[in-house]
Amino acid sequence: MPINSFENYPMSWKPSIVKTEKPIYQALARQLEQDILKGVLLPGTKLPPQRELADYLDLNLSTISKAFKVCELKGLLSASVGSGTFVSFDALSNAYLLEDTKPKHLIEMGATLPDNASYEPLLLQLKSMVQETDYEKWFGYGRAGESLWQKDAAIKLIRRAGFETTFDHILFANGGQNAIAAILASLCKPGDRMGVDQHTYPGLKTVAAMLHVQLVPIKCENYEMSPMAFEYACKNENIKGIYLIPDYHNPTASFMSVETRKKIADIAKKYNQFVIEDASYHLLGKKPLTALASFAPEQVIYIASLSKSLAPGLRLAYIAVPSQYKEAISKALYNLNITVSPLLAELTARTIVSNQFEALIESHQEQTIRRNQIVNRYLGDYTCLGDETGIFRWLLLPGEISGAEFETKAASQGVQVYAAERFVVGNSSPERAIRVSVCAPKTLEELEQGLMILKRLLDSLT
């Protein structure tokens, strides 16, 4: 029987379970999940201490711990040393942002798509390749030993982004998301913990959930991960590594200062933490900052994805991998992919070494600057964070409306945007903000139409 009386005792959750259901911890976990999904337990709710709950239910402490762990691994709960266990703010959010089909009757301003300035040059390069006499080699299996010159192209692209590496550190992946999945699959076990920003890339969240890797939100200051908070997590949160987007962070459009990069690198070296540096947006800026990998090349796994700087359909990313992680990540990539497409790898390499890539970057920047000027014209009265060459902006909302509420209102008026709730991690409180894609609308006219609708909704809140 319970030691204490709970008749008038305040508890945030008083579950009722049938103890004949075995194992009991799974029954309790199902009850907890259902109460979260039904809204009985709201995001941010602090759960009773495990000992208290064990006493209330007359169960062993280990049973409560196992039930909580099941829900933690599903991303429903977030536990923090010294603070307790909370219902995750992102427990009910949808992190799958790229819909199966293009939203009908909606102006797409949610997905982070680049403009299509690179498509025609890529088409011309592709036509030239398939007209070569030995074209059939593009449709077979690629072999790592046959791609040395393509690795030289990768080095050239990565150097353009501010990081020097060598061909023996280069691996190929089928896009940035594929690279992240391989890294987590090779370096983490189910139940391992990894530090991230309080708002982070949703693709990381979905991969971590699939692999049962727990994401630990690390406090930010001025939209940068706090080095002090990172070191605290190394000491107290049992994390194995961190994931960062230092350049044009998704979704907050912020840049990590060089000083902070150095501090993060020093802490990673001190505690032997791996760092995933996602450089998806590194090439969008006019003057790329020094990569964090430059300050800790033996700790940082640098992902140079081409989906935002060239074309999403290429499905290619270059990974600069420290020696200590290379074998494990290489095996994971092989098990996931066997190989990348020789056709796309060759097309990308030729585009880079022919210096077409530089012209394409400039063309993307010109298009994006033009679109951001339109954004500034419509949203200039509101706090809309981001750079003139960025393909999305982080719009802080006026009044008391939440991002999720605004996303729903915008969709009802014909515009798709994404709320902060989709990006938030664990028990971090989501900012009252939305991410607005600048280049997803096909035409400038469609962009203006979407911005007019958003401005009208924003004006109605003030």
pLDDT tens, N- to C-terminus, the chain (462 residues):
445 544 555 677 888 877 777 888 888 888 888 887 777 777 778 888 888 888 888 888 888 888 888 888 777 887 776 778 888 777 666 555 555 555 668 999 998 888 776 677 888 888 888 887 877 777 777 665 557 788 988 999 899 888 999 989 999 999 999 999 999 999 999 989 999 999 999 999 989 988 989 999 999 999 999 999 999 999 999 999 999 999 999 999 999 999 999 999 999 999 999 999 999 998 887 788 999 999 999 999 999 988 888 877 878 999 999 999 999 999 999 999 888 888 888 888 888 888 788 888 888 888 999 999 999 999 999 999 999 999 999 999 998 999 999 999 999 999 999 999 999 998 788 899 999 999 999 899 999 999 999 999 999 998
Q: Identify whether residues 245 and 297 lie together within a single domain.
A: yes
Asked, for residue 211, whether it belongs to a domain, the answer is yes
What is the reported pLDDT for 93?
63
What is the reported pLDDT for 361?
84
- Number of residues assigned to the chain: 462
- 287, 260 Cβ separation under 8 angstroms: no
Residue 53's domain is classified under what CATH number?
A: 1.10.10.10
Q: Identify whether residues 318 and 216 lie together within a single domain.
A: yes
384 beta partners:
395
What is the reported pLDDT for 1?
44
Amino acid, single-letter form, for residue 443:
T
- Which of 304, 336, 354 represents a domain boundary (last residue)? 354
Residue 294's domain is classified under what CATH number?
A: 3.40.640.10
The residue whose two tokens read 């515009």 is 415
- 237, 204 Cβ separation under 8 angstroms: no
- 276, 243 Cβ separation under 8 angstroms: yes
Q: Identify whether residues 51 and 172 lie together within a single domain.
A: no
Antiparallel, parallel or unpaired: β 107-108 and 415-416 = parallel
Q: Identify whether residues 239 and 344 lie together within a single domain.
A: yes
Q: Identify whether residues 333 and 390 lie together within a single domain.
A: no
Q: Identify whether residues 185 and 308 lie together within a single domain.
A: yes
Q: Would you tell me how many other CB atoms lie within 10 Å of the CB of residue 337?
A: 14
Asked, for residue 11, whether it belongs to a domain, the answer is no
What is the reported pLDDT for 114?
80
Q: Identify whether residues 405 and 312 lie together within a single domain.
A: no
Asked, for residue 434, whether it belongs to a domain, the answer is yes
Amino acid, single-letter form, for residue 295:
F
- 42, 1 Cβ separation under 8 angstroms: no
> Nearest to residue 391, comparing CAs of 173, 117, 191, 161?
117
17 beta partners:
none
Query: What is the torsion angle, in degrees rounded to the nearest 10, for the CA atoms of residue 119, residue 123, residue 124 and residue 128?
Result: 150
Q: Identify whether residues 344 and 390 lie together within a single domain.
A: no
Q: Identify whether residues 250 and 292 lie together within a single domain.
A: yes
Tokens of 11: 């508890």
> Nearest to residue 304, comparing CAs of 140, 432, 180?
180
> Nearest to residue 314, comparing CAs of 183, 118, 140?
118
Domain ranges, residue 379: 107-113+358-461
The 3-state DSSP class for residue 215 equals strand
Residue 367's domain is classified under what CATH number?
A: 3.90.1150.10
Q: Identify whether residues 252 and 392 lie together within a single domain.
A: no
Non-local (6+) Cβ contacts of 18 within 8 A are 27
For 231-363, where are the E strands, in sequence order?
239-244, 274-278, 300-305, 317-320
Checking phi first, is residue 60 left (phi over 0); if not, alpha (psi -120 to 50) or beta?
A: beta
What is the reported pLDDT for 210?
87
In angstroms, the CA 74 to CA 209 distance is: 6
Non-local (6+) Cβ contacts of 46 within 8 A are 12, 84, 85, 86
Number of domains in the chain: 3
Asked, for residue 141, whether it belongs to a domain, the answer is yes
- Which of 301, 321, 354 represents a domain boundary (last residue)? 354
- Which of 323, 354, 385 represents a domain boundary (last residue)? 354
The residue whose two tokens read 């359909």 is 313
In angstroms, the CA 161 to CA 289 distance is: 8
Asked, for residue 306, whether it belongs to a domain, the answer is yes
Q: Identify whether residues 396 and 377 lie together within a single domain.
A: yes
* Alpha helix ranges (H) inside 38-118: 50-57, 61-73
In angstroms, the CA 282 to CA 291 distance is: 9
Asked, for residue 15, whether it belongs to a domain, the answer is no
Checking phi first, is residue 222 left (phi over 0); if not, alpha (psi -120 to 50) or beta?
A: left
Asked, for residue 4, whether it belongs to a domain, the answer is no
Asked, for residue 9, whether it belongs to a domain, the answer is no
Q: Identify whether residues 194 and 280 lie together within a single domain.
A: yes
